[in-house]
Amino acid sequence: MRSYRTTRRAVGLLAAAVLGTGLLSACASDDDDGGSDTDSGDGGGGKTTITMGLFGTFGFKEAGLYKEYEKLNPDIKIKEDVIERNENYYPALLNHLTSNSGLADVQAVEVANIAEVVDTQADRFMDLGKVEGVSEDAFLDWKWQQATADDGKTIGLGTDVGPMAICYRKDHFEEAGLPTDREEVAKLWEGDWEKFLDAGRDFKENGPEGVAWVDSADAVYDGAIASSEGKYYNEDGDVIYKESPDVAAAWDIAAAAAEEKLTGNLQQFTKQWDQAMSNGDFATISCPAWMLGYIQEKGGSKSEGKWDVARSPMPGNWGGSFLGVPESGDNKDEAAKLVAWLTAPEQQAKLFAERGNFPSAPPAYDMDAVKTATNPYFGDAPIGELFSASAQEIPVQTIGPKDQIIDQNIGNGLQLIEQGKEDPDGAWDEAVNAADNALDQ
Amino acid sequence: MTQTGTPVDAPPSAEGGAAPKRAAPDDRRQKWRSRRYRWDAKFSPYAFISPFFLFFGAFGLFPLLYTAWASLHRVELTAPTDMEWAGLHNYTRLLEDDFFWNSLWVTFTLAVLSTVPQLLMAMGLAHLLNYKMRAASLFRVAMLAPYATSVAAATLVFAMLYGRDYGMINWFFGLFGVDEIDWKSGSWTSKLAISTIVIWRWTGYNTLIYLAAMQAVPQDLYESASLDGASRWKQFRYVTIPSLRPTILFTVVVSTIGSVQLFGEPLLFEEGAGASGGADHQFQTLGLYLYEQGWRNLHLGRAAAIAWVMFLILVVIGIVFGLISRRLRKS
């Protein structure tokens, strides 16, 4: 009887403890900038607080850049406000911009949305091109142009870019009789996405059972379209995705991969995908620089030493972001200074060394932190060299305001093939239907 | 409040001996006071309930009307103040919009799949809980636990359970040699999966409502029924159910409204799908389609029209149920 009582009490205590820690940690994640203890707003002895509105993980804080800036500028305090997914962040940002309230001093914009922001919200942002210490030459030309309006106003400075590579599992390659050395692997598919599929066919034949060649058809498509010059808009800003030969070519490659079941029928950035990644259920994945960190995080120690990274069939860019300063902010001049500092080559190089976000500023490529960087998780691959080479060959792509929407609907179409619901032609029609419906105002 | 007299007015005897010339102002004051009293009695209740109506006006009525106004325009989230008159275009286009009809169908099937089993199970559980048993209140509280869980938390857990490769449900079926089911991509499997989330969350809530109604059924009805030799089932069928009719109607109305507005579960069921409701829009409800048009595709005018159609659907449902309940009362 007594022992029963004690267990019951123990269970109760345990439950309380678990709940308590849950509560505590919830509070902690809300506000855990340990160091300074000045109160919010601009209390604390005339300090200016700059707020950063971000999505996902930019890694500024994790790489210690805020602390460093605060040390350099004792009057400044930096706070960040992060929404995890850009798809939720972006509508809120538009809402705040158009109603001119609730904006942070600095707002991040994803490359998929930058054209729309430049088109429709340019007058609500400061011209960062005119801020002291900002030099156009320090940025990749196309990155600079993407955030610059026709009248020459630059509303955002590039943080990172996503030069592409292919990550692959050495253990699966070995089992399938494919080379494992990254130079030889790169030669397998050099210059042609079709060769990438050929290697996949070979892998399907000889590789381990239950392991897909690549995670998803959508990722193959993203890789292929990233390396082409044309995308969904022409130079005049008309939507041409239906006629674009580049889109058709990328679609055909991805659709073939889906139809021949070379893909794992997974959707990126879902739990299922994470699980498949950590269990090694696919052999390759399109790998922009920022993906390495993701793979490492999800793979953990279980997959350590199994991954490597090789050049992609063709160089391309996938992802990357910008930082802009809304015109209406109270601290816009201080905020602009901070953005200029954060996106300067030195800081971008530091961020790469710490977090793997690849710099959009070429002067950083010659700095040691980038040039000689290797990644132990990926078999000491010389990632600095690899991605620098890729970044400098990225084609200048014409981007448009609705790239993201078209992209999503094409991705949905490819999934229909993977799920066996449509053949490639039917899936294309479905994708076009959905995209047109989404574009129509 | 204001009618409590001031000391000056207190002695009524003063009136008798007062000079006639003082009568006029006194009279006026008297009048004024009684008028104030009347106003007070008349308007104070309105003042007391006004906060609700002010809030309702600001956060209920105004958005409703503004949405109606927006639905007659071409408006984008990128410039919500630039409205271009579009007449009824946003409504007429819905008639030819396959995605709209699809979402209407999805909403309807999900409503049936979730409401019917949910209410039947709730009825059965309420009947069981109505028996005398030990720890009855424990069971009743337990019933309500799912209702107290957040939609997001419940959906995320269910989404893991229904995972294709590593989900627990497929693992369980795998024990019996059933192949992996791709719950989320299948048209019916995804709907079944989502309806289980709804059923899980709301069954307990309805159970308690039924239980409360059952306890209000007079005991002597059961006694006389059992004297007449009616079995437990017959008692349930001929005593309990008829007495519960208004309650049943109430729960049907509430769950129907809930299913027309179904949103959180299908939105979070597959993280990657966003508001599309799967690659084939297989679980895109009206709420999700509205959200996709407004907050993903940024077409506020189109989204507003969908919102109003949803509102009208609810009004129609309300009228239908109103008629039914009137019929029931008459019979």
**What confidence tier does A40 reach under pLDDT thresholds 50, 70, 90?**
very low
We report the CATH number of the domain holding residue A112 as: 3.40.190.10
Contacts of B279 in chain A (CB under 8 A): 412-413, 415-416, 419, 421
Find the distance separating the first CA and the last CA of chain A, reported in whole Å.
71
Of A134-148, A200-214, B221-235, B301-315, the one with minimum mean pLDDT is B221-235
Verify whether the Cβ–Cβ distance B165 to A412 is below 8 Å. no
Q: How far is CA B272 from CA A20, A408, A412, B193, in A?
A: 32, 10, 10, 17
Contacts of B182 in chain A (CB under 8 A): 265, 419
Does B92 reside within a domain?
no
**Residues A97, A135 within the same domain:** yes
pLDDT digits (tens, 9 = 90+) for A130-145: 998 899 999 999 999 9
Across the range B126-142, mean pLDDT stands at 87
Q: How far is CA A112 from CA A359, B264, B297, in A?
A: 18, 26, 13
**Residues A216, A347 within the same domain:** no
- The beta-carbon neighbor of A441 closest among B74, B80, B295 is B74
**Residues B18, B113 within the same domain:** no
Q: Tell me the nearest-neighbour CA distance from A116 into chain B, angstroms.
A: 8
Contacts of B78 in chain A (CB under 8 A): 94, 98, 116, 119-121
* b/e code B42-63 from CB counts within 10 Å (16+ = b): eeeeeeeeeeeeeeeeeeeeee
Does B61 reside within a domain?
no
**Residues A148, A180 within the same domain:** no
pTM for the predicted model, two decimal places: 0.85
**Residues B34, B106 within the same domain:** no
Of A30-44, A291-305, B92-106, B129-143, the one with minimum mean pLDDT is A30-44
Taking the Cβ of residue B182 and every Cβ of chain A, the question of whether any pair is shorter than 8 Å is answered with yes
**Residues A346, A428 within the same domain:** no
**Residues B189, B299 within the same domain:** yes
**Residues A412, A425 within the same domain:** yes
Residues from A contacting B (CB-CB < 8 Å) are 87, 91, 94-95, 98-99, 116, 119-121, 265, 267-273, 275-276, 279, 281, 405, 408, 412-413, 415-416, 419, 421, 430, 433-434, 437-441
Which residue type is seen at B113?
L
Contacts of A96 in chain B (CB under 8 A): none
**Residues B193, B105 within the same domain:** yes
Does A335 reside within a domain?
yes
pLDDT on residue B23: 56
Cα A299 from Cα A281, distance rounded (Å)? 11
Contacts of B99 in chain A (CB under 8 A): 434, 437
pLDDT digits (tens, 9 = 90+) for B58-75: 999 999 999 999 999 999
**What confidence tier does A299 reach under pLDDT thresholds 50, 70, 90?**
confident
**Residues A310, A357 within the same domain:** no
What is the extent of the structural domain holding B288? 97-330
Which among B155, B276, B293, B306 is the top mutation candidate for probing chain A, defined by the most A β-carbons within 10 Å of its own β-carbon? B276
Closest-CA residue of A relative to B74 is A441
- The answer, yes or no, to whether residue B331 has pLDDT greater than 80, is no
- The answer, yes or no, to whether residue B2 has pLDDT greater than 50, is no
**Residues B116, B32 within the same domain:** no
Does A27 reside within a domain?
no
Q: List all residues of chain B from 254 to 273 with a beta carbon under 8 Å from chain A.
A: 270-273
**What confidence tier does A380 reach under pLDDT thresholds 50, 70, 90?**
very high
Count of the separate structural domains present in chain A: 2
Q: Tell me the nearest-neighbour CA distance from B308 into chain A, angstroms.
A: 18
| Structure token pair of residue A350 | 């530091």
Does B283 reside within a domain?
yes
**Residues A211, A256 within the same domain:** yes
What is the extent of the structural domain holding A328? 44-161+320-371
Verify whether the Cβ–Cβ distance B97 to A437 is below 8 Å. yes
Taking the Cβ of residue B33 and every Cβ of chain A, the question of whether any pair is shorter than 8 Å is answered with no
Instruction: Give the bridge partners for A307, in sequence order.
Output: A169
**Residues A430, A359 within the same domain:** no
**Residues A84, A209 within the same domain:** no
Taking the Cβ of residue B96 and every Cβ of chain A, the question of whether any pair is shorter than 8 Å is answered with no
Across the range B297-313, mean pLDDT stands at 95
- The answer, yes or no, to whether residue B282 has pLDDT greater than 50, is yes
**Residues B17, B160 within the same domain:** no
Across the range A262-268, mean pLDDT stands at 93
Cα B198 from Cα B111, distance rounded (Å)? 10
**Residues A350, A244 within the same domain:** no
pLDDT digits (tens, 9 = 90+) for B168-220: 999 999 999 888 899 999 999 999 999 999 999 999 999 999 999 999 999 89
Cα A343 from Cα A366, distance rounded (Å)? 16
**Residues A304, A325 within the same domain:** no
pLDDT on residue B10: 43
Count of the separate structural domains present in chain B: 2
Q: Tell me the nearest-neighbour CA distance from A47 into chain B, angstroms.
A: 34
**What confidence tier does A29 reach under pLDDT thresholds 50, 70, 90?**
very low
Cα B269 from Cα B156, distance rounded (Å)? 7
Verify whether the Cβ–Cβ distance B79 to A98 is below 8 Å. yes
